Amino acid sequence: MPRMLTGTGRVTVFPLLHLWPDIYGAVAYTTTGHFGVEAVVGYVPVPEVPDIHLMDAAARHTAHTTEWVLCTGWSSRVVPKPGTLDLRDTEWALEVDGSSKPEKVVYGHQQLHVGRMTLKDPEIMPRVRGLLEARMGDLATV
């Protein structure tokens, strides 16, 4: 049985270019732990879109994969892309694919957890789909 993390709080959902040149996935960033020292970054599963394995995506950019994922999640909140969802008091669950520690504290984070994120409110998923459809058009054609 996979390890699960759960929480309620601010969740930022943003599009991430996943497969060049035009396949995006939805990624969610939140924090947990005392003062948010643990970052939680997960892909939000949308049936028509391939899953995003965040550490693999990071490895295509840099050898410092933990830091890349932390930067991507944190910056999505600080400098949101058009259409980014900023959800307050949202219940979430992460099926953990992996956890790692950066070489030093990055954006206030001492730990990173990545995996598949589920947002409990069923009214959020149509908004997530809309976020991707704004970039890719009808998801049925992906």
Instruction: Specify the pairing of strand 4-19 against strand 23-32.
Output: antiparallel
Q: Band the pLDDT of 1: cuts 50, 70, 90.
A: confident
Which position has the higher pLDDT, 101 or 22? 101
Residue 104, judged by CB atoms within 10 A of its CB (0-12, 13-18, 19+), counts as: exposed
- Look at residue 27 and tell me if it is in a domain: yes
Determine, yes or no, domain membership for 101: yes
Q: Give the pTM.
A: 0.95
Alpha-carbon radius of gyration of the chain: 14
Domain count, the chain: 1
| pLDDT tens, residue by residue, 27-79 | 999 999 988 999 999 999 999 999 999 999 999 999 999 999 999 999 999 99
Which helix (H) or strand (E) segment holds residue 81: the answer is none
C-alpha distances in Å from residue 122, one per residue of 38, 46, 136: 26, 13, 22
Residue 87 has pLDDT above 80, yes or no: yes
142 assigned to some structural domain: no
**Does residue 65 fall inside a structural domain?**
no
Q: Which two tokens stand for residue 56?
A: 């693999």
Mean pLDDT of 93-106: 98
Percent residues over pLDDT 70 in the chain: 100
Domain span at 4: 1-45+70-83+91-112
50 domain-assigned: no
Q: Which two tokens stand for residue 59?
A: 């490895």
Percent of the chain with pLDDT over 90: 91
Specify if 108 maps to a domain: yes
Tokens of 47: 């049936």
Residue 135 lies inside a defined structural domain of this protein? no
Evaluate whether residue 51 is within a structural domain: no
